[in-house]
Structures are given as structure tokens and as C-alpha cells.
Amino acid sequence: MGCSTLDPAADIDRASTLASERLGASTASTWAQPLDVRSTAWNGIDPLTAEAALLVALQNDPAVRISLAHIAERRADFVQSELLPNPTIGFGIGIATDGLAGAPAVLRGLQTLTWLWTRPDRIAIAEAALRESVLSAGSATIDLAERVARDHVRVLAAQDLLAFDKQNLAITEQSLHIIRRRLAVGESAALDVDRAAVDVHMAKNAVTAAARSLEQAQLALLGSIGWPGHDTYWSAAEPVGVQQPAFDDDIVLCELAASQRLDLAAARVTVEQELAGLSLAGAKRLPEVSFTFGWQRNASDRKSVIPGATLTIPIFDNGDPAIAKASARINTARLEWINLANRIEYEVRDAGSRWREAVSLSAVTESELLPAACNALDRSQAAYAEGVIDLTVLLLAQEQHIAAQHTLVTQKLAESEALIALRSAVGGTFTALPATDYAATKIVENQS
């Protein structure tokens, strides 16, 4: 009887393949690197792209490595399911108490045979658990990629907000300079200077808050890539690393998710595992059989061999409770699969709707609102310098310009986040993958 290998390398390679073809990045090479060694994908100084951030996370974030450790655990369970139970051997030596010569000796052995007809079900359960762990590891990698990409675009947005707030501070300081110059020649009031000074101080506060928001976004990204102790003297760089889908149809996107979501495939494997568990529970209705073999020597030094068998008859425990429990577990697994499928469908449609909304809003803001606000500010500054308009008009133009800039950054961030969520919701890629269903593929073992 052959036995399977305990080496989980092939299973980890399967998880790597499932993740790599969805992410477009090689996970095998990064997983081969030690977790406690800093990734060389980024030196910690140069601008950090989304691709480099993902490569660092794949090596240095512990969450995915935990899922790989679970694969090794399930591989050991699978090998264990193939092994025959160890025999039980008992022996004893008697001591004569009547003073006569001779002492009895007994040697007995017992081997369970029930394992022979329950072995296929035990192997099926362990195999399904192993496949589920491989799929879950791939799914965990997709989740990590989503988290890293989301945190990366948030750093990009925080950088833009800080740049805009610095620009707005410069504008308010320029306006204050103009007002003070007009006050010096008697063309403005001291109240106007005070109001402009308030705007400057508010703009300074905005710069301070934006700088801290950027720092916090950087810390979140460093935590996601497994470098929580690294400094924040770096910047994020484009591109965000997410391509738009070639099609924008909820039905097509949901079909893509149904064929590519690894957690959905893992839930389907769990149903298979529980079905095998029901078959194993049905074996409790059969008698448990064990083969026994004994050797005995009595006090008269006569020796005998005693072959035999033991039979446990299922009278009081006829297996009905175990079967009922296994049936309930199957029903639970099916309901969890349905619940996950429903949630995935909602995630796809919700992310798609939010993405379309953000695209539409940012297009209007970028092409119409922001240019209009910039033109209004430029004309207001020129007109106020010439004394054509009062300070209220200038301050209103500045406020509208600030609001338009912040709105565009917020909308672009919402667009990127929704697109990242949509990509993850359909399984990690908008590119339809070849029809290979690992969830329905039995594991081919190397026999030794």
C-alpha cells in the first residue's frame, strides 16, 4: 500500500498558481523568501508603486503565510487518513503463588479491520479539507492584494490633498498680502485684513491636518505590507495598478465572479467534505470488527496459539445521531455556500454601481467644475487687486476653489476604491481565466 508525501510544496504551488494568474504577479518566488527577511522589491526610500507594495506584502505579511501553514497541516491530515491504525499488543507473565514450578505467560495482539471500509471516506474528507485550504490560501492572497491596493490609493489621495492644501495656503497668503497693500494706500479696511488673516490660519490648520492624514495613510499601508515599523519619509507613486474592466455589465461580472472566486470554490469543497462525512457516519451502523491473535503458556508449560476476532454490535448506538449530525452539517455547508454566493453577487453589483457613480461625478468635476473654479479665482484676484470687487467675492472664489479641489480628490479616491473592490469581488482579475476548476479536481499523489 503506497503512502502520500508529507511535503506540502505541490499544494503550495497550486495555491501560488491560483493567486498568480489572478494578480498578474508571481507569488511563488516571494513565498520562497523567508518571512523575517525584508523584501528587496522596495528599498524603503524610492516612490512606492502598487506593484512593489504587493510584492513586499506577499513576502512580509504574516497573514498569507498562516494560510500556507494551514496547507501543510491539512497535507499531514491527508497522509494520516491513508495510514492503517497501529496494532495493539499486550503481554503478561504470571507468578506462581502455590510454590510450584512454572509461570504462565500471555501475549495478545489486536488489529482493527473496520478501517478498511471506512478508509475511502476518511481520505475523501481529508482530501477535501486539503483542497479547501489551498483555495482559502489563494483567496487570502486576493484579499491581501485588495487591502494593499486600497491603502496605496489612499496614500496617493492624501498626497494630493496635502499638495492642494499647500497650494491653497499660498493663495490665501497672497490674498492677505494684496489686502495689506491696499490697506496701506487706504483702499481697504482693517476688517478685511483680519478676515483674510483668519483664512490664512485656517489654511495652515488644513495643511497640518492633511500632513497627519498622509502620515496615517502611510502607516496603514506599511502595516498592510508587513513593515509597520518603517519610517514615513517616502511617497507613493502612480499607477494604482488596477485596469478598468473591458465590459461593464452586472450579469457578465457576476458570471465572472461565479467562475473565479476562490472562496466560493472553497465553500463548494466544504460541501463535498460534509458529504463524505455523511458517508463515514453511515458506517457506524455496521459492526466494528477487529482481528485478534494470542499466544499463551500455562503453568504446566503447555503453549497454545489463539486466533480470534472481536465484534462490536451497534445495538444501543446505531449511528442515527451521527448521521443526523452529518446531515445537518451538509445542510449548513450548502446554506453557507448560498449565503456566500448571494453576498458575492451583492458585492459585485454594489461595487460596480459605486464605481460608475464615482466615474460620472469625477468626470464632471474634472472637466467642468474645477476649471470653472480656477477661472473664477483668477478673475477674482485680478478684479480685487484693481478694486473692482470687494473682499467677500474673493474669499468666496477661494472657498469654491478649495472645495472643488477636495471634491475631485475625494471622487477620484472613491473611483479607485470602488474599482479595486470590484476587481476583488469578481475574483481578483477582470480577465476571464481558462476553465480550470481546481475545486472539482482530485489531488494526484506521488506514491512512495
Listed by start position, the domains of the chain span: 9-440
Instruction: Return the higher-pLDDT residue of 345 and 301.
Output: 345
386 φ, ψ to 5°? Answer: -90, 0
Helix (H) or strand (E) holding 354: helix 320-364
- pLDDT interval class at 440 (50, 70, 90): low
Rounded Cα gap, residues 226 and 228, in angstroms: 6
User: Mean pLDDT throughout 231-245?
Assistant: 84
User: Mean pLDDT throughout 260-288?
Assistant: 87
The number of residues making up the chain comes to 448
Q: Looking at the predicted structure, is the pLDDT value of residue 328 above 70?
A: yes
Give residue 448's pLDDT.
Answer: 36
Long-range interactions of 337-345: CB distance < 8 A, separation 24+: 337/264, 337/267, 337/268, 337/270, 337/271, 340/263, 340/264, 340/267, 341/258, 341/264, 344/254, 344/257, 344/258, 344/261, 344/264, 344/425, 345/254, 345/257
Give residue 278's pLDDT.
Answer: 87
Rounded Cα gap, residues 3 and 76, in angstroms: 11
Rounded Cα gap, residues 246 and 116, in angstroms: 54
Q: Looking at the predicted structure, is the pLDDT value of residue 447 above 50?
A: no
Rounded Cα gap, residues 123 and 65, in angstroms: 26
Give residue 437's pLDDT.
Answer: 64
Distances (CA, A) of 51 to 10, 47, 48, 58, 237: 26, 11, 8, 11, 10
Residue (of 227, 238, 240) closest to 44 by Cα position = 227
According to CATH, the superfamily of the domain at 9-440 is: Outer membrane efflux proteins (OEP) (1.20.1600.10)
Q: Which amino acid appears at position 410 of this protein?
A: T
87-97 tens-digit pLDDT: 778 776 766 66
Residue (of 429, 442, 432, 368) closest to 404 by Cα position = 368
| Cell 490560501 sits on residue | 137
pTM: predicted TM-score of the whole model, two decimal places: 0.85
Rounded Cα gap, residues 218 and 267, in angstroms: 35
Rounded Cα gap, residues 192 and 178, in angstroms: 11
Rounded Cα gap, residues 31 and 65, in angstroms: 8
Question: What SS3 state is found at 243?
Answer: coil
User: Considering the chain, what is the average pLDDT of its residues?
Assistant: 85
Rounded Cα gap, residues 184 and 79, in angstroms: 89
175-225 tens-digit pLDDT: 788 888 777 777 677 887 888 888 889 999 999 999 999 999 999 999 999
To 10 degrees, the CA torsion angle through 174, 177, 178, 179? 120
Name the least confident of 2-16, 351-365, 400-414, 416-430. 2-16
Q: Looking at the predicted structure, is the pLDDT value of residue 157 above 60?
A: yes
- How many angstroms separate the first and last alpha carbons of the chain? 9
Residue 48 DSSP label: B
- pLDDT interval class at 108 (50, 70, 90): confident
- Diameter of the chain measured on Cα atoms: 135
